[in-house]
Amino acid sequence: MKDFERYLSVSDINAIIKSKLENDYSLKNLTVKGEISNYKEYDRAVYFSLKEDNVSSIPCVMWKDPMKYKSFKPQNGDEVLVKGSVSVYTGRGYYQLTVYDIELFGQGQELLRLLALKKKLEEEGLFDPSKKKMIPRYPFEIGVIVGAGSAAEADIKTNIKRRWPVANLHIFNALVQGKDAPKSIIKELNLSKDYPLDVLIIARGGGSSEDLSAFNDELLVREIYAYNVPVIAAVGHEIDFTLVDFVADKRVSTPTGAAEAATPDIKDVYQRIYESENRLDNSITDLLEYSKKMIDSFASRPFFKNPASIYEKTIINLTNSKKMLDTCIANMLNRIRDRIDSYESRLASLNPYSILNRGYSMAYNKNGKIISSINDVNVNDVFEIKVADGTIEGEIKNKKGK
């Protein structure tokens, strides 16, 4: 029985299988096609099987949160595309597909293609908000690409004429539905380049996703991106979005909205002009009143009554300043003169030659140095004695210390 001494529990086996399957990247983010069967809804999740021609099936679980954003309710027998990852329910030891998105196969396939194209164009920068052109505030040349005789054309014409009748409207009729629609729209787009447009509207009424598919054409999107005039897209209704919406400089939900986005309301313009005129009149009146008050204030000042008065005070100040300056200079000169006299007296008292006049004399050795010590001379040295009236030369015969 030694072979049974080491064993795994059922939970251990299921945990190992769960780890291997859920960590295998080839089993993550899968897109799977199949037919729904055994569809059941509960409070927190939806359970169903995805089968293939009664040959094979896989159980699926999808939590309720993603389901609330779906535009259709899945039913048994629906052929669908699901996105999900393989997971393991360890309680019962079986694997399942945890689904986080689901679409009907026909719609889903087209949606996948559209999402891939959107991602590609987005990565190229075609939808970059920083590259959007500003819609002019007062356009006078407006182009419209729209279906001939359509309600969208009538709405745009009516609303632009009502809101901004000074604009010149250029209508370019194109196919807005069907396989030839993208080429037709591009043709009219290129034709519009010959007109001095300030803004261009591309419009059509609402419709199904298939009806609006022409506005997801890659070449059309690129042509709009390269167009040198601001473009307003009015394709479909509020819940519909196309790639043209993303590349346009402004997106609105209806043709009427496009007319409003492209033009100011002339009533508002008149009102702004009227308000500006009133503000200007008030500003001019205020300025004139202020200027009159300033003139009156200046006229009442002494200078304007007696212009010479402005100099009288200055002349008095200059005269007083001159007197003060003269006094300061005289005082300074006296102080300098007194200091010079004091220095002369001190210099005279310190002059060694002045003592000669008092009966003293000064002796110099042969080097011309004053003899102040017996060490400054030697016996037989010649020396000079300066007295008040001349010089006496002598020779050292002897020298004695104290």
Over its C-alpha atoms, the chain yields an Rg (Å, rounded) of 55
| Residues of the chain below pLDDT 50 | none
312 & 243 share domain:
no
16 & 43 share domain:
yes
Distance CA 104, CA 107 (A): 5
155 & 253 share domain:
yes
**Phi-psi domain of 387 (left: phi exceeds 0; alpha: psi -120 through 50; beta: other):** beta
Read off the CATH number of the domain in which 70 is found. 2.40.50.140
Q: What is the pLDDT of residue 348?
A: 72
Q: What is the pLDDT of residue 203?
A: 95
Distance CA 270, CA 387 (A): 118
Q: Which residues contact 164 (CB under 8 A, 6 or more apart)?
A: 139, 263, 264, 265, 266
222 & 325 share domain:
no
User: Of 346, 341, 387, 389, nearest to 364 (Cα)?
Assistant: 387
Domain annotation covers residue 84: yes
158 & 245 share domain:
yes
Domain annotation covers residue 1: no
Distance CA 165, CA 167 (A): 5
Domain annotation covers residue 100: yes
255 & 150 share domain:
yes
Distance CA 140, CA 143 (A): 10
Domain annotation covers residue 270: no
Question: Residue 3 class from Cβ within 10 Å (0-12 exposed, 13-18 middle, 19+ buried)?
Answer: exposed
Domain annotation covers residue 277: no
Strands (E), 302-354: none
| Domain's final residue, options 216, 238, 264 | 264
Q: What is the pLDDT of residue 185?
A: 97
Cα-Cα end-to-end distance for the chain: 139
100 & 174 share domain:
no
Q: What is the pLDDT of residue 240?
A: 60
Pairing state between β 56-63 and 94-104: parallel
Domain annotation covers residue 296: no
Read off the CATH number of the domain in which 187 is found. 3.40.50.2300
Q: Where are the alpha helices (DSSP H) in 164-249?
A: 181-192, 218-226, 243-247
152 & 237 share domain:
yes
165 & 105 share domain:
no
236 & 247 share domain:
yes
In the chain, how many H helices and how many E strands? Answer: 11, 13
Question: Residue 245 class from Cβ within 10 Å (0-12 exposed, 13-18 middle, 19+ buried)?
Answer: buried
pLDDT digits (tens, 9 = 90+) for 182-191: 999 999 999 9
Domain count, the chain: 4
95 & 188 share domain:
no
Distance (Å) of CA 260 to CA 174, 263, 342? 22, 5, 101
Domain annotation covers residue 281: no
Domain annotation covers residue 283: no
Q: What is the pLDDT of residue 395?
A: 85
Question: Percent of the chain having pLDDT more than 90?
Answer: 43
| Domain's final residue, options 114, 147, 167 | 114
345 & 371 share domain:
no
Distance (Å) of CA 312 to CA 300, 322, 334, 340, 341? 18, 15, 33, 42, 43
Range(s) of the domain holding residue 97: 9-114
